[in-house]
Structure formats: C-alpha cells, structure tokens
Amino acid sequence: MGGQIKLTTPLSDKDLEKLKIGDKVLLTGVIYTGRDAAHKRLFDLIQQGKDLPMDIKGQVIYFVGPSPAKPGQAIGSAGPTTSYRMDAFSPKLIELGLKGMIGKGNRSPEVIEAMKKYKAVYFGATGGAGALIAKSIKKAEVVAYDDLGPEAIRRLEVEDFPVVVINDTKGNDLYVEGAKKYRKG
C-alpha cells in the first residue's frame, strides 16, 4: 500500500491522477456532507435543470449523517455511512465536476466507470470511528435542507481528515485487491 499524501480541497485532476489505491490521504479545506435524502434532492434539481445549493466543481462529498453536537463541539460523531445507497446519483454528480466522495463500502461498476471517465476518486473513512473522525472537523454549518436533520447538507471545514483511496482514477479497487492479497484457500 502507498504512502501518506496531504491534499487541499478543491481537488484538481492533477491532484487525483497521482493517487493509487491504498494511499493514505489527509484532506484539508472545505468538504460537503450529503447522504440518501440530500442526494435525491440534488438529483431532482439537476433533472429539472435548476442550480444546486452549492458549486460541486472540484468538491468532495462526505456521506455522513452526524450525531448532534454537544455544547462546545463543532459537530457530533461523524463517521461515514455505507456508500452504495448513493450509487444511483453519484455518476451524474461526477459528470458535473465532483472530484471526490468519502464513504465506506463498495461502489457500483457505473460509479467506478464515471470516476475513470471524468477523473474522480472514492475515499474510504473508517466506519464506526465517528468520535475519532470528528476531531478533524473544525467547523460545520448547514447550507441546505435543514429540514432533513442529520441528513441536511453541511459545509465542513476539515484539517488533516484521514481517508484511504478505495477507487482511483484508473479503475482500481482496494476492496478487490486487498481481499485478494489476504484470502486463504
């Protein structure tokens, strides 16, 4: 597996081309949250030809529905949710310029193909490490769909947010390669 790389958002094609599966990446800058319900709304806006609540060019979407922040916290626990539920929506967002997604679990062949075609990557964050991950989120504010509660779209300011490259821009998949390496019998 590769080394540790620091990247600042928004991400460029040049940033992404050098990434390989298994690389540990520390992200700094702004990322946006979104999960099932928010993705559905974004997708509906695109279908209707309307503007999105944020510019997604070069951006990263983190599939997360955080727990409520305690007084004094920027955000509650904030680990990734399972990504396949966003598979129906991701290719369109990638086509519109989305450069990164953070989640956990397998993506569909369509999403992997879109990442190859338009140069985007899928990062994994450690599922269930919500208390630890929250430490790298310095600020959180709702930018759209407040009515969705934990599923609202939030703008996060992150510092050295730890992720691993699961799918790179070449179509490789850490889940496939990792299991192959340690499978027995």
Nearer to other proteins, 28 or 126 (CB): 126
Q: How far apart are CA 79 and CA 89, in angstroms?
A: 21
Active site (annotated) includes residue 39: yes
* Smallest gap from residue 150 Cβ to other proteins (A): 5
Hey, what amino acid is at 40? K
The two three-digit tokens of residue 168, written as one number: 């790179």
29, 126, 145, 157: which one contacts other proteins (CB under 8 A)? 126
Query: Of 161, 114, 160, 143, whose CA–CA distance to 32 is shortest?
Result: 143
CA 52 to chain centre: 17
User: Does 155 help bind other proteins (rule: CB under 8 A)?
Assistant: no
Q: Cα–Cα distances in Å, from 121 out to 46, 97, 141, 151?
A: 21, 12, 25, 22
Binding mask of the shown chain, residues 56 to 85, with x at each position contacting other proteins by CB under 8 A: --------xxxxxxx--x--xxxx-xx-x-
| Catalytic residue (one of 16, 32, 39, 111) | 39
Per CB under 8 A, residues contacting other proteins are 1, 22, 36-37, 64-70, 73, 76-79, 81-82, 84, 104-106, 124, 126-132, 134-135, 149-150, 164, 174-175, 177-185
Residues with catalytic function: 39
